[in-house]
Amino acid sequence: MDRCPCRGCGAGIMPLAPIAQMDLETFDRIQRVNVRGTFVIDQLAARQVRNGGAIINFSTTITRLQAPTYGAYAASKGAVEAMSLILARELRGRDVTVNAVAPGPTATPLFFEGKSQEAIDHIASLNPMERLGTPADIAEVTAFLAGPGRWVNGQTIYANGGAA
């Protein structure tokens, strides 16, 4: 997926290539969408969120797995994790939480793109639950952070079935 179809939701793009072979235009596009996009959304949210609200960003378990060809994508999501912690600290005194959810392999069009069924099955078998995550799995973690998880702040929550 080269573009986020929703334009401005904080979703990302994930072109893959070894660091030594990725062209700078692709690298810059990944950073522009994944980092700048999150920055703009966070900036607007910080200005408008009510006291007691929650801001939730999205990272990826790839920042821990550090798989080959994911360097530019992992770098962009590492930046999202850093921004989340810093924004949580900047919003001190407002009772606003800022966290990041880092999904593992999740059954979405972005995950399936360009992968053979054999590769998908292999990736699904790597975590102790032996399956891909579902959007509902990620939604549960997100809902927790948006609701009852009021004491969780400035954290990255890895929702990956135990993969890392």
Residues forming the active site? 73
Question: What is the distance between the alpha carbons of residues 103 and 76, in angstroms, rounded to a whole number?
Answer: 15
Question: What is the distance between the alpha carbons of residues 5 and 138, in angstroms, rounded to a whole number?
Answer: 19
Instruction: Count the helices and strands in the chain (H runs, E runs).
Output: 7, 3
User: Which are the contacts of 159, defined by CB distance < 8 A and separation ≥ 6?
Assistant: 101, 102, 103, 104, 133, 137, 138, 141
DSSP category for residue 66 = -
Phi, psi of 116 (to 5 degrees): -75, 160
Measured between alpha carbons, how far is residue 3 from residues 19, 75, 108, 125, 159 in Å? 21, 18, 14, 29, 24
Q: Residue 15 is encoded by which pair of tokens?
A: 């072109």
